[in-house]
Amino acid sequence: EQVLNAHNRTTNRVCWHPVQPTMLLSGSQDGTVKLWDHRMSSCVRTITPNSTSVRDAAFDPHHPHRFAAVFENGVMQFWDMRGGTSG
Of the candidates 50, 52, 83, the one whose C-alpha atom is nearest the C-alpha of residue 67 is: 83
The edge-to-edge listing of strands for the beta sheet with 76-80 is 54-59, 66-71, 76-80
Cβ-count burial of 8 within 10 angstroms (0-12 exposed, 13-18 middle, 19+ buried)? exposed
Per-residue pLDDT of the chain (87 residues), as tens digits, is 666 677 778 788 889 999 999 999 999 999 889 998 888 888 889 988 877 899 999 999 999 899 999 999 999 999 998 875 554
Strands 23-28 and 54-59: unpaired
Rounded to whole angstroms, the Cα distance separating 53 from 21 reads 26
Q: pTM to 2 decimals?
A: 0.83
